[in-house]
Structure 1
Amino acid sequence: MMVKILHSYYPKPESQLIGSLKGDGNTKEDRGRVAVDLWETSKPYAGIQSRQKCRAKSHIVFLKTHQTESSTIQHILYRYGGSSRLTFALPKNNALTFSYPELFQAQFVEGVRAKAEFDIMCNEMRFRKSEVAKVMPKDTFYFSILRHPVLMMQSMFMQFKYVSTASDFHTLDKIIQSRFKKHAPSDTGADYLFTNLTFDFGFDNIVSADGKDMKRRASEVIGAMERDFHLILINEYFDESLVLLKHVLCWSLEDVATFRFNRCSDQTASPVLPDTAEDIRKWNDLDWRVYQYFNATFWKTVESTVGIEEMKREVSELRELQVELLSTCLHRRFRKTSKDYPKFKTNWDRGDVSLGFSINKELDDENYRKCQKYMTPEVQFTSNLYDLQFSKQTRQKKQAS
């Protein structure tokens, strides 16, 4: 029997995802649990103010991670920064990434020599804090987002099977059955199916399968992530993550309301057998341990920063706002770019993973411009910001060509 692994490994928000649950997550009985020592020693992130008045943050680094809906959060930052006339650290030559999968270097940023610091950095990179800090202010707020490793690999298979080790197989089950226990990727950055979360955070994802070594390695990774990042969001609680982000950045609900361009839904998941899901978790044991820890600390941060009841209220309000935005702005969706919208690029046009949007043509000019900001995809938004910040350089390059 084929099953979809969706919400079987983690508790629901209503139960607050807390409690002293014993075990280290390495047995079937312990799945979805968090070790007592991890939970009891965890603390709310430094720099997050608990239900107090604060000033809106404008110096921000967001580490995009693969298949976590990070493009949606990037879009929120694009929209806010563009409206507030903030400067963005953008990749050179109008690229989408900072030379991923190479470790980030300050020299990958366009205009870095002319400008010492930028306000926001949110394009795809393989994180290296020492280099990022060279182009960002000292008071920069760092955050990222994680996703359950099984769900992440399902989505990875759907998205990248054309360019990875998955290209020879029709199902994720066959990949795991064929390569599990003997897969040793020589080029993990191009694989997309092996401990990709920790790889994105800049860590070596080839680690020993020995339990003690893995526990030590996970502790080191978690410690480094807590030092480098003020907040880690969780994809499975996306709306709750947006509300929490709104609080810690001291923004409004309107600032974080969005259309979910690359929504990781049940419909896009590649079904897997239960044994395959178990193998995926073991195969990505480092990601799994990291995910468990931050899945728990997320809800502890919610309690200290927002409160569970207030979170429920604001999530409901956010969803109502987003429904209103959809009903106002949306004319229709399309899987591939329509001939009627030649300049409106979708992020990915294979399968049903990423959908494009077209704007309601009946809107007045003011609402049309507002909706356009909400609906412009990553590719076009990045290009627009690049042209805005480096228009002189862009014109010179065009003239030279």
Structure 2
Amino acid sequence: MFQGVNETNTSHVQDERRLAECVSPRTNFVFIKVHKAGSTTTAAVMARFALRRNLSVMSPVSGGGVHAAWPNTDLTLDDFYHTPDEVYNVLFHHTVYNKEWMERKFPSDTAYLAIIRQPFSHLKSTFNFYGIDRSLPFKNKDNPLKEFLKNPSRYPTSFRLRGVLVDKTRNAQAFDLGYPVEKATDMKGGEEYIEQLDRDFTLVLILEYFDHSLVMLRRLMCWETKDILYDTTPRRQQKYPYKSYRPTEVEREAHRQWSPVDYAMYHRFNQTLWQKIAQQGPDFFQELTYFRQVNQQVNEFCRQKKPRAAKQIPESTWGSAFNITDQSCSLLRMYFKAIDSKIGKQQGRPVLKVPCERKDVGPTTSIPFFLQGGPMMATFAGGLKMKKRTLRRLTHEQREIVGTLRKELRRCQDKQKGMKDVFIEGMGKFKKPR
């Protein structure tokens, strides 16, 4: 609990007062999981915290258990699993920030958190991950970004998904934080929106200063050192020719003109992070050194072969003593989706039979189709009902995706054999058939 503090997330002064007056960990928080910004590693930290404390997590029904109504800003009754009392402590899945909707669903003392990264680094990651470099007709295969940045407006990178305009190359981080693509060039509106975000959010983590951000998170949320440990094993690292490319000043400026809100937002929240750190005093950097040492020790211990005797981390200025066991290591190294599944079991979330054809295939699969004017690919059904003449017009990459979807559909159908629960559309819950 926080005594004598108005929990409205309206100023950095209030954040500092919380830090001084907190006597127990804050357990109500919404984490906006910004795509391709280190958010899965961060969400795993949040999920482990929620699991250990048996918090009520608002979890999405569709989107592969990862996306909560994205890219729509409003979650409907059908979009998430419902608790009997409709009380929720935590949200940490991909969803677009919507202040009004979230304030109605979460307690008034909820902390709002997010993570972002340097915009050009973000562009490189999204270009590769979503297959934009392979979906558009670039001649420079080794570095399509150079070609793209000569004239970004020339390329059809925007598309509509479930009625919402999406562009993974333009202000994509600001989009996840609620700023629409249609206002890409409205810098006055963008600056005002960033001001509002700065008032709303307790902390926006910066990927380039990830450890600094986690220590600041621990302090603002009154958590323990053990709560912010993370797995340092490289995961899902993809190699592509332009990954380490450093743009020329002309190219960076072209990208800044294309994604001005992302650049302004990154500048603001990078600045805000360092302002918060400066207010902490020199012991912040002492804790940062301590945290890095402990995180390294824990990761090295967890990489040892089993059986392992428990490792004790002694009490410090910044937290109580704790033990690292085989179970702790398993949880630390567990993928985010696996932790989320454990939370589902803990909460009694049923294994539900959402018709396989209605399952969301996600933007990773959809984007190569949208960018080339292909058919709607929001669900399995959208991709599998294509006629032969449509299939013949697809690119090699698109045909491979369709083949993968068909295999996934068969796996889904096999997995659902014998399951009794079915989704009742419009009810916002699941019922067993009579």
TM-score range, shorter chain: 0.7 to 0.9
Alignment-derived partner of residue 273 in structure 1:
247
Q: Where does 1:5-20 land on structure 2 (aligned, <5 Å)? A: none
- How many residue pairs were aligned? 326
Alignment-derived partner of residue 217 in structure 1:
189
Deviations along 1:250-280, whole A, 9 cap, x unmatched? 0111110111466799987341431323322
What is the rounded CA distance, in whole Å, between the counterparts of 1:50 and 1:138 in structure 2?
14
Q: 1:376 aligns with which of 309, 334, 348?
A: 334
Contact persistence 1:60–1:120 (CA under 8 A):
yes
Q: Where does 1:147-186 land on structure 2 (aligned, <5 Å)? A: 147-161=117-131, 170=141, 171-177=143-149, 179-183=151-155, 185-186=157-158
Aligned residues: CA RMSD: 3.1
1:231 matches 2:203 = yes
Distance apart, 1:206 and its partner CA: 3.1
Deviations along 1:304-329, whole A, 9 cap, x unmatched? 2x22x222111111111111111111
Q: Report % sequence identity.
A: 21
Alignment-derived partner of residue 284 in structure 1:
259
Distance apart, 1:198 and its partner CA: 0.9
Distance apart, 1:77 and its partner CA: 1.1
What is the rounded CA distance, in whole Å, between the counterparts of 1:151 and 1:45 in structure 2?
32
Deviations along 1:64-88, whole A, 9 cap, x unmatched? 1122211111111111111111111
Contact persistence 2:96–2:177 (CA under 8 A):
yes
Return the letter of the residue paired with 2:172.
N
Alignment-derived partner of residue 44 in structure 1:
12
What is the rounded CA distance, in whole Å, between the counterparts of 1:243 and 1:141 in structure 2?
16
Q: Where does 1:292-331 land on structure 2 (aligned, <5 Å)? A: 292-304=267-279, 306-307=280-281, 309-330=282-303
Q: 2:181 aligns with which of 197, 205, 230?
A: 205
Distance apart, 1:185 and its partner CA: 4.1
Contact persistence 2:184–2:261 (CA under 8 A):
no
1:389 matches 2:347 = yes
Task: Provide the TM-score with structure 2 as the length reference.
Answer: 0.67
Return the letter of the residue paired with 1:381.
I
Alignment-derived partner of residue 13 in structure 1:
none
What is the rounded CA distance, in whole Å, between the counterparts of 1:172 and 1:163 in structure 2?
6
What is the rounded CA distance, in whole Å, between the counterparts of 2:45 and 2:133 in structure 1?
28
Name which of structure 1's ranges 180-189 and 311-320 shifts more when overlaid on structure 2. Answer: 180-189
Return the letter of the residue paired with 1:104.
D
Alignment-derived partner of residue 361 in structure 1:
306
What is the rounded CA distance, in whole Å, between the counterparts of 1:315 and 1:113 in structure 2?
38
**Which protein has the larger Cα radius of gyration, Structure 1 or Structure 2?**
2
Distance apart, 1:140 and its partner CA: 0.7
Alignment-derived partner of residue 194 in structure 1:
170
Contact persistence 1:144–1:231 (CA under 8 A):
yes
Gaps of 5+ in 1: 1-41, 332-359
Alignment-derived partner of residue 399 in structure 2:
none
